[in-house]
Amino acid sequence: MTHAMLKGSNVPLEATTVRAVLRWTPGQGVPDVDASALLLGPDGRVRSDEDFVFYNQPRHPAGKVWRLGKKRVAEGLTDTIQTDLTGVESGVSRILLVASADGVTFDRVRELRILLYDAADTGAEALAYFDVTPETGEETALICGELYRRGEGWKFRALGEGYSNGLKGLATDFGISVDESEAAEEEEATTTVPAPPTTNTAAQPTTAGAAQQPPEVSVPLPPEQPTAAPGQPGYGYPPQQPPATQPAYGYPQTTGRPAYGYPQAPAASGAAGAQSGYGYPPPVTAVPDPDFALPPQGPQFVGR
């Protein structure tokens, strides 16, 4: 006969090996549920971290409490803890049966139920079951029930006590040591959003809300333009260029090397300082000799 239990009620157990099965109905948005167990001493706390049986430590070192794992059945999904009650160490007075959802509240878990079976009676109906209902819906871990000693035997009590800080918070309350630095790193990894990288911090605005300005870019000035109009060529000939530029197309230059093999004309003296006439000899500027006389000419024609 199966006992339908209410919160706080208990039932004696005659079975020597008990399977505690957590069962729920999967669906869209329904979180996965994990079963675990804590073995407590007379003081209500674990004796060491080895007294915590869960997904990362699925078997107790004494070998009397272990996690069977998840399974799909016709009614939904299950996760199971099995206990050999006759072999449990005398220093253990209670075994908590816990359900946890990874960071998701139990108001989204549908039809959560814990069922107790006699492991030696394969295929038999459940000894007892308890429909676990969260009190606030914000719980992320629940103590569904407990196996506890009563004289020489064992009993099961339906509890349904919730924790809003998850399996880690529940385990800590019963003496499980949690690495604070590791827990802080996990919390930071889930809550911290990295800032986008910046490539030029000098160009970022320093006042909150100010519009971001583009970085300044140096633009080269245009080449300097001549201010005077170039002179016109003389009588159709090309103008003379300075030595640093283009040669005068075969005509002599005043300074620098001669242009393309032509001799360089001497610079004219005097106030004007004019150049020679494009390769022609310069005009004579000396004053004529007053005693100069033409030589005798040929025979003269004398009239008769």
- C-alpha 222/C-alpha 114 separation (Å) is 86
- C-alpha 82/C-alpha 19 separation (Å) is 4
Contact 251, 265 (CB under 8 A): no
Which pTM value belongs to this model? 0.60
Contacts 24+ apart (CB under 8 A), 240-248: 240/275
Which pLDDT tens digits describe the chain residue by residue (304 residues)? 789 999 999 999 999 999 999 999 998 889 999 999 999 999 999 999 999 999 999 999 999 999 998 999 999 999 999 999 999 999 999 999 999 998 889 999 999 999 999 998 877 789 999 999 988 889 999 999 999 999 999 999 999 999 999 999 999 999 998 765 544 444 454 444 344 444 444 334 333 443 444 444 444 555 555 444 445 545 555 555 554 444 444 444 444 444 444 455 444 444 444 454 556 666 655 566 677 666 665 555 444 4
DSSP secondary structure code for residue 187 in this structure: H
**Class for the domain spanning 3-174:** mainly beta
- C-alpha 205/C-alpha 212 separation (Å) is 6
Instruction: Write out the two tokens for 103.
Output: 């960071």
Contact 79, 72 (CB under 8 A): no
pLDDT of residue 178: 74
pLDDT of residue 111: 94
- C-alpha 108/C-alpha 134 separation (Å) is 10
pLDDT of residue 286: 59
How many residues are given for the chain?
304
Nearest partner of 34 among 79, 76, 65, 71, judged by Cα:
79
pLDDT of residue 137: 87
Residue 242's CB is within 10 A of a number of other CB atoms, namely 10
Handedness of CA 141, 84, 157, 90 (dihedral sign): negative
Residues in Cβ contact with 231 at an 8 Å cutoff, skipping those fewer than 6 apart = 239
pLDDT of residue 196: 43
- C-alpha 116/C-alpha 119 separation (Å) is 9
Q: Which residue has the tokens 């630095």?
A: 181
- C-alpha 188/C-alpha 179 separation (Å) is 14
The Cα angle at residue 31 between residues 28 and 32, in degrees rounded to 5: 120
Contact 125, 72 (CB under 8 A): no
Instruction: Write out the two tokens for 86.
Output: 């006759």
